[in-house]
Structure 1
Amino acid sequence: MPASLAHRSAALLCLLLCILSGLGGCAGMGQEPLRVNVAGIDPLKGEGMEMRFNVKLRVQNPNDTPVEFSGVSLQLDLNGQSFASGVSDQSGVVPRFGETVIDVPLTVPAFAAVRQAFALAGSASSGSFPYELRGRLAGGIGGGARFVDHGKLSLPTQSLMGP
């Protein structure tokens, strides 16, 4: 009998864990993704040949629950190539149905800048280049919230060509 009781206890525990993990999955269902846009870019002093920028991210939370975060990571790709990355240990809360601005220093390695300069020089396009910004707000029960922003960057070709 004791072995049978142990099997039943183990089965009951397993069933309980399955139910709880199923409920945890339901808690995230119906949540809309965070909306993240670049609100500004300011130059920072770089080291050697690298370039550095302070990227201001506007994070909007379209959900009924606040999102706590304890760090941010970013990766910026231009023309399908890795271009810049950055991290910040900034922490805070994006309020329910609210927004906040987060500063993240972004580093462009020298070789990535040179590669993109050659791509720009050899390009016969209209001065519009695809970008993708991927990131993660760390923290919370699920380990954080991931986000993606993408589009096209347009260079002011008129001002580059002169009058």
Structure 2
Amino acid sequence: MPPLDAGRSVRLLCIFLCIVMSFGGCAGFMGQEPLRVNVAGVAPLEGEGLEMRLNLKLRVQNPNDSPVEYDGMSLELELNGEPFASGVSDQRGVVPRFGETLIEVPVTVPAFAVVRQAFAFGNSEHAGGFPYTLRGRLGGGMIGGTRFVHEGTLSLPAAP
């Protein structure tokens, strides 16, 4: 085996240190609970053309012992297993350790999604409500952000 020159040994040492440090970073995330994200409110916004716009108010809970800093948020909302709305926000902040915060995200609902859901509503029984899935990402942090998924059922008020 040929002897290692100084440049090659420095490169190998750097690669080794990067690998060891990445394992250390992963160990810090071991045992972390995922963020809990729930829809806390919905308000209409002024739309353009055939689009509908809504302001989603999300309650983000951090069940962990360290705060989560975020710089922006993106999300997608599925209704009945179909894409329904998407939105982004450039809000910045911190979800405190063992705490919660409200984040507002304006979302756009394309006209086609509204029509598709109207047909689905008319063609089936939804006594238990409409299943929805909220997927998103809080931007920022050293690893590019924190992803979240929340599933639930949207119930309509009973007719009088």
Q: TM-score, normalised by structure 1?
A: 0.90
Distance 1:98 1:18 in 2: 33
Distance 1:11 1:49 in 2: 58
Correspondence for 1:135: 136
Correspondence for 2:107: 106
Alignment size in residue pairs: 159
Correspondence for 1:77: 78
Correspondence for 2:62: 61
Partner of 1:11, secondary structure, is helix
Distance 1:132 1:120 in 2: 17
Unaligned runs of 5+ in 1: none
Partner of 2:108, secondary structure, is strand
Correspondence for 2:23: 22
How far the C-alpha of 1:28 sits from its partner, in A, is: 1.4
Correspondence for 1:118: 119
Report which stretch shifted further, 27-36 or 8-17: 8-17
How far the C-alpha of 1:74 sits from its partner, in A, is: 1.1
RMSD between superposed Cα atoms in Å: 1.7
Correspondence for 1:95: 96
Unaligned runs of 5+ in 2: none
How far the C-alpha of 1:6 sits from its partner, in A, is: 4.0
Correspondence for 1:50: 51
Distance 1:36 1:62 in 2: 11
- Write out per-residue CA displacement over residues 93-149 of structure 1, whole angstroms, 9 at most, x where no aligned residue: 111111110000011110110011011111134252211000111000011111111
Partner of 1:90, secondary structure, is strand
How far the C-alpha of 1:69 sits from its partner, in A, is: 0.7
Distance 1:125 1:46 in 2: 27
Q: TM-score, normalised by structure 2?
A: 0.92
Letter in 2 for 1:72: M
Letter in 2 for 1:44: L
Letter in 1 for 2:50: M
Distance 2:29 2:57 in 1: 27
Correspondence for 1:148: 149
Distance 2:11 2:46 in 1: 60
Report which stretch shifted further, 43-52 or 122-131: 122-131
Report which stretch shifted further, 85-94 or 20-29: 20-29
